[in-house]
Amino acid sequence: MSTLPSAIEQAAAGFNGRFALSALNLQTDQAFCLRADEVYPTASVIKLPVLLTLMQQVEDGLYDLDAPLMLRRADKIGGSGLLQHLTPGLTMPIRDWAFMMMSISDNLATNVLIDHVGLAAVNNWLDAHDYPDVRLHRKIDFGEIAKDQRNLGTASPDSLTRMITAVFRRQHISPTACDEMLRLMDGVGADRVGRYLPFSLYGSDEPEEQKLHLAGKTGSLMGMRAQTAVVWRGAWDAQQGFALTVMTAADPTPERWSADSPGVLLIGRIAKILYDNILGK
């Protein structure tokens, strides 16, 4: 990946905020890092370790994914998601709460699951698995986030890329649990990492060995965008693909929550460069 530095520098030439990158070629284990050990606010990317802790507790027999959780009026919170608009008293299996948290980044589902697993348990899991710079600081609270974007969660791109790679490689927890996590994150970030890739969000008729897959988690706050993801072709055990995390912050562009915001476009351009160097040949 010797051509990456100049290509990424060119891709980021018009971006006025800060950004950092950690990427890994899954076939060769060759890494490319750009300020990858710097700690950034995570926004909703912190939902990935919440999910890992949940799956760990399921593995440990504390409960199962079919156990019911009820939507309470006191759980209501704004921001992304659908559950804030639904009627209190709704009951769903934990599996569906996790899907809402990861697939559409539902903030209400996230806070319910943080309560369920325990905030301290998330950070204990991170410590036990060697992610000391990844922290969940509190449940989603937009008043606290307005004071400092780091008040929700913080992480380095390096740690997040190691984490999503471990899920893809069926590490930390059982292969069955990792497969479920990848299902819950399937297609997440199609508008970012998948933006310039030949990825079909709704499937395709291509032979399995040619299909491009994407699983990950995105995050957005004022002037910042982030994504951690794994992109692969064919069966997972071929390890034909790459993992990446791009984190941005302090973009001075007026925030309009556009699908074409500078941070989103930068993530897409970086992913396309990685794709061309690793899978596009």
Domain ranges of the chain: 4-278
Tens place of pLDDT for every residue, the chain, 281 residues? 567 888 998 999 999 999 999 999 999 999 999 999 999 999 999 999 999 999 999 999 999 999 999 999 888 887 888 898 888 999 999 999 999 999 999 999 999 999 999 999 999 999 999 999 999 999 999 999 999 999 999 999 999 999 999 999 999 999 999 999 999 999 999 999 999 999 988 877 888 888 999 999 999 999 999 999 999 999 989 999 999 999 999 999 999 999 999 999 999 999 999 999 999 86
CA distance 185 to 217: 7
Sheet bearing 241-249, strands edge to edge: 31-34, 18-25, 241-249, 224-233, 212-221
Instruction: Find out if CATH 3.40.710.10 is the number for domain 4-278.
Output: yes
Dihedral sign (CA 34, 274, 102, 120): negative
Q: Cβ–Cβ contacts within 10 Å for residue 82, how many?
A: 11
- Taking the C-alpha atoms of residue 158 and residue 162, their distance in angstroms, rounded to an integer, is 6
230, 205 in Cβ contact below 8 A?
no
Which pTM was predicted?
A: 0.96
For 136, the enclosing helix (H) or strand (E) is: strand 135-136
